[in-house]
Amino acid sequence: AQKITQTQPGMFVQEKEAVTLDCTYDTSDPSYGLFWYKQPSSGEMIFLIYQGSYDQQNATEGRYSLNFQKARKSANLVISASQLGDSAMYFCAMTGEGDDKIIFGKGTRLHILP
Amino acid sequence: DAEITQSPRHKITETGRQVTLACHQTWNHNNMFWYRQDLGHGLRLIHYSYGVQDTNKGEVSDGYSVSRSNTEDLPLTLESAASSQTSVYFCASSESGGKSADTQYFGPGTRLTVL
């Protein structure tokens, strides 16, 4: 069975600093996908970034990058130059081989301090 | 523009009543999912469907049912609402084999309170 673990329930970071949100996963599937979503206080789920298990390079989307360490089963989200608007809940998620359903971690609440 | 909508956005009901939450997507996606979000649990999968007439149980399916009669809609029914089903419910859709970056779409959520 697949499992996603986010060990940081909450984080406080000074504005303009870089942030790393931790995510580890467990799966026996050789092919899988990893996602990060942002949920601001307004409640909507916003897709941020995706990494395929066979992708050779780490995914990047603007200020977001995914630090993918396959051997460690780690998929940390890195936010460079944090902004006040980055304050939100962040969820790590994954899909498995031949299976499109998404399994989510419990989330990390990020607070950016001015 | 294509979208995924949920209705109602907020609902208050009483214990024991049947409740149906609607989800409608115009992406023409085969896959549709229902999640509930509770503090300390993140999003947990209730039911999902990979196409018309296909439904599958997720992690927390007890007390819920779904049916898929067309591509666009996946209504979620609470057969006899319980206070433990007070939650925020999200519907999502994706393309088949949806492992690529831009195929996961979420609705705005429905906040359900069971008194």
pLDDT at A2: 82
Report the Cα A82 to chain-centroid distance in Å: 15
Q: Tell me, what's the pLDDT at A100? A: 76
Under 8 Å between Cβ of A79 and A68: no
Among B35, B42, B109, the residue with its CB nearest the CB of A105 is B42
> Do A91 and B43 count as a contact with CB atoms less than 8 A apart?
yes
Yes or no, beta carbons of B88 and A106 under 8 Å apart: no
Q: What pLDDT does residue A29 have?
A: 85
CB contact under 8 A, A100 and B50: yes
B80, exposed or middle or buried, with CB in 10 Å at 0-12, 13-18, 19+?
exposed
Q: What is the mean pLDDT of chain B?
A: 92
End-to-end CA distance of chain B: 37
Question: pLDDT tens digits for A37-78?
Answer: 999 999 999 989 999 888 889 999 999 999 999 999 999 999
Q: How many Å apart are CA B89 and CA B83, to the nearest integer?
A: 14
Strands (E), chain A: 3-5, 10-14, 19-21, 24-26, 33-39, 46-52, 60-61, 64-69, 74-79, 88-96, 99-104, 108-113
Chain A interface, best mutation among B30, B43, B54, by max A CB count within 10 A: B43
Q: Which residues of chain A have a CB within 8 Å of the CB of B88?
A: 43
Q: What is the pLDDT of residue B102?
A: 46
Q: For residue B33, is pLDDT > 50?
A: yes
pLDDT tens digit sequence for B102-112:
467 899 999 99
